[in-house]
Amino acid sequence: MVGLLGVGGAHVRGSVFMFCFQIHRACMSLVLLMTVAAVVVIIVDVEGYPTIPDLPGKAHPILGFVTLGFVVINVSAILPTRSSWTCREN
């Protein structure tokens, strides 16, 4: 159980690791889907990019797009890559 939580998990191999990785990949994809949906709903509701004149409200839309960017970068890091890399186990 300790290996599943990440403490000393370097020795976890095989089907348990791949199962956990697939769950992680599914959750990260769901995070991307929900974040994109949230940004689209907000832009449609406000009818464009929100313009708020004062801080801290002025920074809120910018932080939303920064968050979207970080989520896209994070999810793109777990996409399948070339199988010829030596660090990948098949």
pLDDT by residue for the chain (90 residues), tens digit each? 444 555 555 555 667 777 887 888 888 889 989 999 988 988 888 888 777 788 787 888 888 889 999 998 887 776 666 665 555 555
27 in any annotated domain: yes
pTM of the model: 0.63
37 in any annotated domain: yes
70 in any annotated domain: no
**65 C-beta neighbours (distance < 10 Å), count:** 11
87 in any annotated domain: no
Residue numbers of the domain that contains 30: 21-46
Quick one: pLDDT at residue 37?
A: 92
10 in any annotated domain: no
81 in any annotated domain: no
Q: What total of structural domains would you count in the chain?
A: 1
Quick one: pLDDT at residue 33?
A: 92
5 in any annotated domain: no
